[in-house]
Structures are given as C-alpha cells and as structure tokens.
C-alpha cells in the first residue's frame, strides 16, 4: 500500500501492521512443520521422503490450534509487556517532573501547544546520543532519551528531538515498529530453539542406523528400499533446516516494511511542532555517528532517532543518512546546515599537540653569546649560587 501523504502514510502503517501480524502466524506454522520433519526423522530413520512429508503435514494439522494459541499468546504478552522488555534491554527508567524538570517541561509544552496526550518520559543512562518512542496505544506511549543526549544538546535541540518522537506517535509509526520487534523476537526465539534441538540430537546413532540399513540393502530388495529411505531422511533434514533459515531470514527482513520515509516525515513533523528547522538540523548533526546503544538489539536500534547500523551496502538500512535528512530540511524547511559538528567531549578527547611538554615548559630560555657558534649546543646556566656561565667560560 503506497503512501502519498500524511494520512495515507498513517493508513499504510495500520495496513502493514495487520499484514505483518498475519505473517507472524504463517512463519510460526512454517517452523512447526520444520520441527515435525525433524521429529519424524528421529522417530523413524529409515522411511522415504514422501513418508516424512506426509507425516509432517499431519503433525502440522494436529498442532495447528496449539501453534495458533502460542502465537496469539505471544502477541498478547508483547502487547502488555513490550515496554518492560525494551526497558530490560536498554535500562530505561521512568522519570517525573521533579527528577527531570527541564526535559519534562519541554515535552509538556509541545504537547499542550498541539493538544497531544502527554506520553511517559524515560531516561536511559548511556553516553550515546539517541532517543526513541514506544507504545501501542495512548496509555502505553513513552519517549526514552539517553543521558548523553541531555548533556550534549541544548533546549531547542532537545525540543526538536522530542517533536520528532511525538510525530512518530501521531503518525502511527510506533505501532508498526513495535510489531516488527515482536515478530523478529518470537520467530528468532523459536528458530534458535529448533536449531538447538537439532544440534543436540545424537545424529551419530541415527547415522549408524542409516549405515546398517544401507549395508543390508546388498542382501535383499526390501533392504534396498530402506537404503533409499535413509537418503530420504537426509533430504527431509535438509528441507527442515532450509525452512528454519527461511523463517528466520523473513523475520529479519520484515524491517523492510519500515519505510525510510517515516524518518523524513518525523523530521518535518518536528519542524511543524517547533517552528525551528535549524534546531532539528543541529540535533541531527550532533547525534550523527554517536547514537550506538551498547547491548541493544538491532530491533531496538530501529526505533531510534538515528540508527548507525546501516546494514549491507545500505540495502537493509532502516534510516536515511543524516546527510539526506539534513538536505531535505534545508531544501523544504529553509534550514541551514552547519556541517558535521564536534562536541566538547570530542575536543577534550583529542590531545593538543600545540602545547609544550612539561619538561620543555620547565626549562628556562638559554642565553647565547654574541660570538657563540650557532651549531654548538647551547649550555644551560649553572644554577649554583654565585656562578655565572658566560660565552667565554665560567666566571667565579
């Protein structure tokens, strides 16, 4: 569903959210079928490929209601507790007006000026410069900012970042991003579970069964069929592994549904709220290449103002580059681009080579005589009392 404006963008986000939730159930069924294939091979290692596929299909039909209940239960759990999960990963904690009066007042003023419900405020203790919004309804909406962002940005720039996140909430981007996190989490969990089960199985013993069946194939035609069955078991395992890999890859590629235009629209929405394009530009320039959250998953980074993890050749990047976003603000909002900005912390981290070393600072200037040879190394005056070292030797 293509989006040509703000309202179609919001409708497109809702449509994609529903489509992605339906895709979640489909991926769960694919994983169940792959698990059934592995289980049938373990239970009967000498059957044909057609036997395994038929039995796995019957197992999928039998497990269909249970898989549906598990997927629905995960969605319910994620709906009510996704914020707790994200806070556990990022370490974000709720703050009040008394704890963060500056941040609280900036967000409250923005919400009052536009009649927007006030989301919850959270602060993450991290030197990184970033922020993100989460929530699936008005009671759950929250904005998390890092402590590094509060220290590096001034009030106008922080207000611009808050306006950016408020726009994500207004446009419905947050719901779509949270759904993507839910799908990646559940499919990744079950995919890893099946792989662990697969690697922990005693394939050596099953391999001996297949080898014994193949050795007996030389004595009778029925044993020859069993030998073919051993080959069918290997093919069934390969199919199961491919299906598990495919489901996991699809769960990761689901972020392609997150249109990069949502960040450009959020930047524009911030300018509309604050009437200050320059503040949004300088905020982006300060955040540029400083937003990496240590320990955060890629799904959480996709929620942030800037995601420095660009992916392979920028193909899977969920955010436009900062240069592209700044260029759009300059072109359409009339902002001014100061170029890449250095923070005071960056300046303090760089050694100042222009300063003299401590030893050089302690040495007094060495006087030279009128007839002294410039090539001759200068001598330091004698520091003993009553002594003076002149150009013709020491004077006593």
In sequence order, what are the residues at sequence separation of 6 or more whose Cβ sits closer than 8 angstroms to the Cβ of residue 260? Answer: 317, 318, 319, 320
Look at the chain and count its residues: 396
Classified as helix, coil or strand, 154 is coil
Smallest Cα–Cα separation from 190: which of 198, 180, 178?
198
User: DSSP characters for 186-229?
Assistant: HHHHHHHHHHHHHHHS-HHHHHHHHHHHHHHTTT-HHHHHHHHH
CB half-sphere exposure, 150, CA atoms < 13 A: 16
Structure tokens at 41: 């091979």
User: DSSP characters for 86-153?
Assistant: HHHHH-EEE--TTT-HHHHHHHHHHHHHHTPPPPEEEEE--SS--EEEE-SSTTT-EEEEEHHHHHHS
Structure tokens at 271: 């300018």
Cα–Cα distance measured from residue 77 to residue 69, given in angstroms and rounded to the nearest whole number: 12
Catalytic residue among 40, 157, 159, 165: 165
* Structural element, H or E, at residue 31: helix 6-43
Q: Are 180 and 302 in contact (CB under 8 A)?
A: yes
165 is catalytic: yes
Structure tokens at 21: 């939730």
Distances (CA, A) of 224 to 49, 98, 196: 15, 80, 33
Beta-bridge partner residues of 133: 143
Cα–Cα distance measured from residue 14 to residue 84, given in angstroms and rounded to the nearest whole number: 23
CB count in 10 Å sphere of residue 370: 5
Pairing relation of β-strands 142-146 and 120-124? parallel
Known catalytic residues?
165
């Amino acid at each position: 569903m293509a989006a040509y404006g703000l309202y179609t963008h919001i409708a497109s986000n809702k449509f994609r959210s529903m489509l992605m939730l339906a895709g979640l159930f489909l991926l769960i069924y694919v994983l169940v079928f792959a698990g059934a294939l592995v289980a049938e091979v373990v239970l009967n290692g000498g059957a044909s490929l057609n036997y395994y596929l038929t039995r796995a299909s019957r197992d999928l039909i039998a497990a269909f209601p249970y898989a549906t209940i598990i997927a629905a239960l995960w969605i319910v759990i994620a709906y009510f507790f996704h914020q707790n999960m994200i806070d556990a990963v990022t370490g974000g904690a709720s703050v009040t007006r008394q704890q963060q009066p500056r941040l609280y007042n900036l967000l409250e003023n923005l919400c009052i000026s536009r009649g927007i419900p006030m989301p919850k405020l959270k602060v993450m203790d991290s030197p990184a410069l970033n922020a993100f919004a989460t929530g699936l309804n008005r009671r759950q909406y929250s904005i998390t900012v890092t402590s590094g962002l509060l220290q590096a940005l001034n009030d106008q720039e922080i207000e611009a970042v808050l306006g950016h996140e408020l726009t994500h909430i207004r446009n419905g981007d947050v719901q779509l991003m949270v759904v993507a996190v839910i799908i990646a989490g559940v499919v990744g969990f079950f995919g890893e579970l099946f792989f662990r089960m697969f690697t922990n199985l005693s394939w050596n013993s099953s391999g001996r069964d297949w080898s014994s069946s193949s050795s007996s194939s030389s004595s009778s035609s029925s044993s020859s069929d069993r030998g073919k069955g051993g080959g069918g078991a290997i093919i069934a395992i390969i199919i199961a592994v491919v299906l598990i890999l495919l489901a996991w890859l699809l769960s990761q590629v689901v972020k392609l549904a997150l249109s990069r235009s949502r960040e450009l629209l959020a930047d524009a929405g911030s300018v509309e709220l604050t009437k200050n394009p320059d503040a949004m530009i300088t905020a982006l320039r300060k955040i540029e290449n400083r937003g990496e959250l240590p320990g955060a998953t890629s799904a959480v980074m996709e929620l942030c103002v800037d995601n420095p993890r660009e992916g392979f050749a920028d193909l899977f990047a969920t955010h436009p580059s900062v240069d592209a976003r700044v260029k759009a603000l300059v072109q359409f909002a009339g902002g001014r681009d100061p170029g890449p900005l250095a923070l005071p912390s960056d300046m303090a981290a760089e050694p100042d080579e222009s300063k003299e070393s401590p030893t050089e600072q302690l040495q007094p200037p060495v006087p030279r005589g009128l007839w002294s040879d410039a090539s001759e190394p200068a001598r330091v005056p004698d520091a003993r009392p009553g002594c003076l070292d002149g150009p013709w030797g020491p004077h006593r």
